[in-house]
Structure 1
Amino acid sequence: MASNRITLLLVAIAGCARLASAQVPTEIAKQLIAIGRGVCVPETAQLYRPLHGNPPYAGVSIARDLSFGPDPKNVLDVFASEKGGSSRPVLIYVSGGAGNKRQGGPNGDVFYDNIMLWAVKNGMVGVNMQRRPGEAW
């Protein structure tokens, strides 16, 4: 009886590990290995960018570059379902600063948008904030 449980547990763990490794497309996995173990943001972004959609996103309402605080570079984007609804949880994502929220131009950046789209898909309102280092909230 105990050996059956252990066998079932091992099969479940192996299945989960297989699914986790299947998330990276084979061609991208090869290129990631070639890049190496360092943090290579531009190179990695170039590999993954084609996998993301481009705005406008179906069913999603976006308000971009809403200013908060005294610094005009302190801005946020709000993503919500076009279907509306009330009493939704809010996911607030604050990037590391340094003005990097706007790398993608006036239509945003697919990587930050991807986080907000995940929030909307899961019944939340997504807020992507850009806070300048050294500025008061």
Structure 2
Amino acid sequence: MIKNIAFAIAFIIITKILVFLFIENKQEPKINQKELESIALALNKNYPKTSPNGIRIDRLSTGIGLITYHKTLINYSVADFDANSLNSDASRQELVDEACSNSGTKKFLKSGISIQNIYRDKNGTIVSDRTVRPKDCI
């Protein structure tokens, strides 16, 4: 249940950002690496920011064709999670389905940008590291 809430909040935040950035563009934007880095740099001015459900977005980073959201679950430690559940195929498919159907994240994916979410517990231990790639949405 916690992972579902975490993923839902992540995609709501991403959607708001992407809708804001691309709402007036009728065509799918093509984002080059320099633009992606500029988007991340601009958005990082707003972070860290904590949502009411205890998920803090610490920062964004980029790689070639990749934007990564670094997040912390401030109220949980890795011991609070079932690793098998977090890393299951069903959990991954849920993340992919949400990213591919969400109008905001879909724009990134259609532009060839992969979206990575790295979740850490309150002690800094990685709890989940998931990437949705454009090919996942076919």
The two structures have a TM-score, normalised by structure 2, of 0.24
Q: Which has the higher helix share?
A: 2
Q: Which has the higher strand share?
A: 2
**Which has more radius of gyration?**
1
The two structures have a TM-score, normalised by structure 1, of 0.24
